[in-house]
C-alpha cells in the first residue's frame, strides 16, 4: 500500500510539472503575437494623439495652438510609445520563428505601425553615431526628453544637408557616377533658396541657446545646492545637536590618537615658548606657580579648541551625507539638465581642435595618474581624514595610491582606444606625438 501512495504522489508531482511546462510553452509561443499587439497599441496611441490634438498630422514643435509645456508633454508621450514600438518589434522579430500557426493577419498591423513610425524616423548622422544607425527623431534634428533639439555637433538644419551627404559610403550604398560634392552643392543651394530656411535656422539657434542656458543652470545647481545643503545642515542642525550631546554626556575629547598627540605637542610648545621668552628678553624668572597657572589656561584653551574640532568633524560626517543626497536628487530630478549638459560637453569636445583635445587629455592624466600625482592623492586623502575626524591610515593611503590611479589610467587608455580613435583619429595621433 505504501508503494501505491508513493507512486500516486510521484504521478501528481509529474502532472503538475507537465502542466507548468505546457503553460510555459504556450506562453512562449504566444510571445510574437503578444509583442506585436503591444507595438500595435502603442502605434494606436500615437495615432490618437495626432487625430485629437494635431489634426491627424505629425506631432511637432511647430504646432502654434499649444504652449511649449503642453508640446513637451505630447512629445514625451510619443517618444515613449516609439521606444515601446521599437522594443516590441525587435521582440517580435526575434521570436517570430516560434509561431508555427501560419497566421499572416499581422501584416496589416505591421503596415499600420510602419506608417506611424515613418513619420518620426530619420537617418541623420551625428558624430557620435555610426553611419548606418537609424534613430527616431522629431523634425530634422535629434531631440531630447524635453522635446528640444540636441545636436552634439552644434550644426544648424542647413548644415544637415552637408552632413547627410558626406562620406563615400552611406547606409551601405556606394556613391554613384557623379561625385557627391555636386549633389551636396545643389542640395545646399536648394535649401538656402527655401523661404523657410531662415526661420528654421533661427529656431535652431534659439533652441541651442536655450539648451546652453539650461546646461549652465544645471551646473550651477549641481554645485550650489549640495554645497548650501551641506553648510546649512551642518551649521544649523547637526553642529548644535552634536555640541549639546557632547556637553550633556561624557564623551572622549579626542576622536583619534593623532588629535591627542597634536594637543600634547601644542601644550609642550607653549611651555617651551614661555621659557624661551624668559631667556631671550632677560625677564625675571617666572615662578613655578605662575607657569602652572598659565599652563592651565592654555590647557583650557586647547580643550575648547579640540572639543569644537571634534564636534565639527562629527557634524561634517552627517552634513556631507546630506550634500551627497542633494547632489543625487539634483541629477535624478533634472534629467533634462543632465541631457543638456552632455550635449554641451559633446559640442565643446567636437569644436576643440586636435591639439587642444590632446593638451586637455595630457593635462588631466598628468594631474591624476601622472608621475607627481601620488603626492596630490596623499594630500587629498589626509585632508579628507582630517575633515571627518578619522586617523589617517598610512597603509591604506599607500595602497590607494598604488591601485586607484592605475585603474584611472587604464580607463583613460581604453576610452582613447575605444572611442576617441573612432571619433577623432587625428586627435589620437596628435596625442601620441605630444607624449613622445
Helix crossing, 394-415 with 373-388: angle to 10°? 130
Q: What is the pLDDT of residue 277?
A: 79
Whole-model pTM above 0.75?
no
> Which of these, 298, 309, 333, 308, lies nearest to 390 by C-alpha position?
309
d(CA 353, CA 128) in angstroms, rounded, equals 17
Per-residue pLDDT of the chain (436 residues; tens, 9 = 90+): 444 444 444 445 556 656 656 666 666 667 777 888 888 888 888 888 888 778 777 887 766 667 777 777 788 888 888 888 888 888 787 777 655 555 556 788 888 888 888 888 754 333 333 333 334 444 433 444 444 444 434 433 333 333 333 344 434 444 455 566 676 777 777 666 666 767 777 877 788 788 888 889 999 999 999 999 999 999 999 989 998 888 888 888 888 888 888 889 888 888 888 888 777 766 666 677 787 888 888 888 988 888 888 889 999 999 999 999 999 999 998 888 888 888 888 888 777 888 888 888 888 888 888 777 888 888 898 888 888 888 888 888 889 988 988 898 899 888 888 888 877 788 888 888 877 6
8-state DSSP, 135? E
Beta bridge partners of 169: 174
Q: What is the pLDDT of residue 323?
A: 93
Distance of CA 189 to CAs 158, 176, 196, Å?
10, 20, 13
Helix (H) or strand (E) holding 169: strand 169-170
d(CA 3, CA 191) in angstroms, rounded, equals 87
For cell 510609445, what's the residue? 81
- Domain map of the chain by residue range? 1-119, 223-332, 352-436
d(CA 98, CA 31) in angstroms, rounded, equals 8
Q: What is the pLDDT of residue 25?
A: 63
> Which of these, 160, 154, 126, lies nearest to 140 by C-alpha position?
160
The three cell numbers locating residue 250: 561624557
Q: How many CA atoms lie within 13 A of 12 on its CB side?
A: 6
Beta bridge partners of 173: 170
d(CA 54, CA 58) in angstroms, rounded, equals 7
Amino acid at each position: 500500500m505504501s508503494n501505491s501512495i508513493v507512486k500516486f504522489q510521484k504521478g501528481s508531482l509529474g502532472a503538475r510539472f507537465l502542466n507548468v511546462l505546457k503553460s510555459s510553452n504556450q506562453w512562449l509561443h504566444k510571445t510574437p503575437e503578444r509583442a506585436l499587439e503591444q507595438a500595435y497599441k502603442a502605434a494606436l496611441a500615437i495615432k490618437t494623439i495626432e487625430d485629437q490634438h494635431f489634426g491627424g498630422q505629425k506631432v511637432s514643435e511647430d504646432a502654434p495652438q499649444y504652449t511649449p509645456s503642453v508640446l513637451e508633454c505630447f512629445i514625451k508621450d510619443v517618444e515613449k510609445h516609439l521606444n515601446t514600438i521599437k522594443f516590441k518589434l525587435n521582440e517580435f522579430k526575434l521570436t517570430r520563428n516560434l509561431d508555427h500557426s501560419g497566421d499572416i493577419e499581422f501584416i496589416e498591423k505591421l503596415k499600420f505601425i510602419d506608417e506611424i513610425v515613418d513619420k518620426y524616423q530619420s537617418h541623420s548622422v551625428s558624430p557620435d553615431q555610426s553611419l548606418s544607425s537609424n534613430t527616431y527623431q522629431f523634425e530634422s534634428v535629434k531631440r531630447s526628453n524635453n522635446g528640444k533639439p540636441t545636436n552634439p555637433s552644434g550644426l544648424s538644419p542647413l548644415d544637415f544637408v552637408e552632413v547627410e551627404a558626406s562620406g563615400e559610403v552611406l547606409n551601405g550604398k556606394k556613391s554613384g557616377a557623379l561625385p557627391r560634392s555636386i549633389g551636396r552643392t545643389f542640395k545646399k543651394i536648394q535649401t538656402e533658396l527655401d523661404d523657410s530656411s531662415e526661420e528654421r535656422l533661427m529656431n535652431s539657434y534659439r533652441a541651442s541657446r536655450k539648451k546652453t542656458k539650461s546646461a549652465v543652470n544645471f551646473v550651477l545647481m549641481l554645485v550650489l545646492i549640495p554645497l548650501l545643503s551641506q553648510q546649512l545642515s551642518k551649521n544649523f542642525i547637526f553642529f548644535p545637536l552634536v555640541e549639546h550631546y557632547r556637553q550633556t554626556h561624557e564623551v572622549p575629547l579626542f576622536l583619534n590618537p593623532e588629535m591627542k598627540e597634536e594637543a600634547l605637542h601644542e601644550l609642550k610648545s607653549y611651555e617651551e615658548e614661555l621659557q624661551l621668552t624668559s631667556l631671550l628678553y632677560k625677564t625675571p624668572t617666572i615662578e613655578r606657580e605662575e607657569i602652572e597657572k598659565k599652563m592651565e589656561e592654555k590647557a583650557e584653551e586647547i580643550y575648547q579648541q579640540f572639543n569644537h574640532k571634534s564636534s565639527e568633524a562629527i557634524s561634517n560626517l552627517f552634513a556631507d551625507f546630506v550634500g551627497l543626497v542633494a547632489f543625487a536628487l539634483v541629477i535624478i530630478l533634472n534629467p533634462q539638465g543632465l541631457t543638456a549638459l552632455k550635449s554641451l560637453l559633446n559640442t565643446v569636445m567636437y569644436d576643440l581642435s586636435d591639439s587642444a583635445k590632446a593638451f586637455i587629455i595630457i593635462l588631466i592624466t598628468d594631474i591624476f595618474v601622472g608621475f607627481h600625482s601620488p603626492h596630490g592623492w596623499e594630500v587629498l586623502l589626509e585632508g579628507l581624514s582630517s575633515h571627518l575626524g578619522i586617523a589617517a591610515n598610512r597603509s591604506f593611503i599607500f595602497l590607494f595610491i598604488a591601485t586607484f590611479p592605475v585603474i584611472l589610467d587604464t580607463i583613460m587608455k581604453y576610452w582613447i582606444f575605444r572611442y576617441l580613435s573612432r571619433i577623432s583619429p587625428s586627435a589620437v595621433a596628435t596625442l601620441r606625438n605630444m607624449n613622445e
